[in-house]
Chains A and B, each alone.
Chain A
């Protein structure tokens, strides 16, 4: 398995198939015996910005930090992963995961105030 080929930029969904985001980077940790393991998926513009690198990447991370007030990317520990396939499936539903702040903000402040926002269009 390869990180770039099989993990990075993959779509992540929750237990019920709802969109969580894309894998923008991976958190890795060194063990005492010198081996290095992937410990978490990292999501969000801060993670993506650091991966893109250069001035563009830094500005992406900067904008994201200013918006959310939190410079760290969303972290999903590897223990929360159910399946690593075409799509990465997590063990828990969205509301139990440390993600989705941007979506919730837009939902509360932009969409819900509009009439009919909760009606199904089918």
Chain B
């Protein structure tokens, strides 16, 4: 399976309403004892906000210029984070379903990895 399949999936909340498309995937990075990289999926960022995530103004290390930052974060204000253990992913249907309500979901910047 490919990450692209997840990135092209649409998320729906507990009431069946569409939250938006998956626009980024949070990973936990660790090293195994024998020096291999491990990357485990721990959650997804969904909804309108791809631009903030992509350019690095949300969850990234880009801080300025101040006016651009404000614009990007404003454009990403409705983005939501869903922890991997709070959702079911159907790759064939390209659907992500969560029991939680959209309004209860945190913004990707505020969320701890497990939601």
| Residues of A that sit less than 8 Å from B by CB | 1-5, 7-8, 25-30, 34-38, 42, 47, 50-51, 53, 78-79, 81, 84
Contact = CB atoms under 8 A, between A and B. Distances in A.
B54 interface: yes
Interface of B: 1-4, 6-8, 23-29, 36-41, 45, 53-54, 56, 59-60, 84-85
13 contacts: A1-B29, A2-B25, A4-B24, A4-B53, A5-B54, A28-B2, A28-B6, A35-B40, A37-B40, A47-B2, A51-B2, A51-B4, A79-B36
The 9 closest A-B pairs by CB, nearest first: A38-B39, A51-B4, A26-B3, A4-B24, A3-B25, A36-B41, A1-B29, A1-B27, A25-B4
A121 B41 CA distance: 47
Nearest to B61: A5
Given A35-B84, A47-B2, 10 more contacts: A1-B26, A1-B39, A3-B24, A4-B7, A4-B53, A25-B3, A38-B39, A47-B4, A51-B4, A51-B7
A29 to B, nearest CB: 7
Contacts, number: 83
Nearest to B4: A51
Contacts of B84: 35-36
A3 B3 contact: yes
A26 B39 CA distance: 11
B2 A37 contact: no
B56 A27 contact: no
Contacts of A37: 38-41
A2 B26 contact: yes
Contacts of A1: 26-29, 39
Given A25-B2, A50-B2, A53-B8, A81 B37 contact: yes
In the complex, which of the residues A4, A30, A36, A47 has the most CB atoms of chain B within 10 Å of its own CB atom? Answer: A4
